[in-house]
């Protein structure tokens, strides 16, 4: 059983998958930071200095100045600003994956073979393959057009 597991784990597909998961996790962190630290502040600035990370609905009825203050007090909140950040994260990751797959498909498409002019034709009378330049069939001796 140990040999079977070793053979399974060392196959190329499993190792490729593991590398993809690791790189994907790192890429996800980069995109999250990009969205949280670069994109959303710019969007917030354009929309009137809104901090999306601080947008929430307090469900306890008390008044809190920020999401951090509400969470420290243990108040239940709906964090729709963080949800908007997550949606932007997803859209960026999905677009990048779309571009990568599109590029891979473009590289892996088989190139069409060049069209080669035919070198033979069939005799209309005996259906034998003959040279395209022939004016008479060598098999049935019929005159060809």
Domain boundaries, the chain: 2-109, 114-145
- Residue 12 is predicted with a pLDDT of 64
Q: The tokens of 125 are what?
A: 């009378």
Distances (CA, A) of 18 to 10, 32, 60, 93, 97: 11, 21, 44, 19, 17
Is a pLDDT exceeding 70 seen at residue 144? Answer: yes
Topology of domain 2-109 in CATH is 1.10.1200
Is a pLDDT exceeding 70 seen at residue 59? Answer: yes
Is a pLDDT exceeding 70 seen at residue 101? Answer: yes
The reported pTM is 0.56
Whats the size of the chain, residue-wise? 145
Residue ranges with strand state E in 4-140: 57-58, 77-78, 120-122, 129-131
Percentage with pLDDT > 90 across the chain: 3
Q: What is the mean pLDDT of residues 7-24?
A: 77
């Amino acid at each position: 059983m140990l040999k079977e597991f070793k053979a399974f784990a060392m196959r190329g597909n499993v190792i490729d998958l593991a590398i993809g998961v690791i790189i994907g996790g790192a890429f996800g962190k980069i995109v999250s930071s990009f969205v949280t630290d670069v994109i959303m502040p710019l969007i917030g600035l354009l929309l009137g200095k809104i901090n999306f990370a601080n947008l929430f609905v307090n469900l306890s009825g008390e008044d809190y100045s920020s999401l951090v203050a509400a969470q420290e007090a243990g108040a239940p909140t709906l964090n729709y600003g963080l949800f908007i950040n997550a949606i932007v994260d997803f859209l960026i990751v999905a677009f990048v994956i779309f571009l990568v797959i599109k590029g891979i498909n473009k590289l892996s498409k088989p190139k069409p073979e060049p069209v080669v002019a035919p070198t033979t034709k069939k005799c209309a009378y005996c259906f034998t393959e003959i040279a395209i330049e022939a004016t008479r069939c060598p098999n049935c001796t019929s005159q060809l057009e």
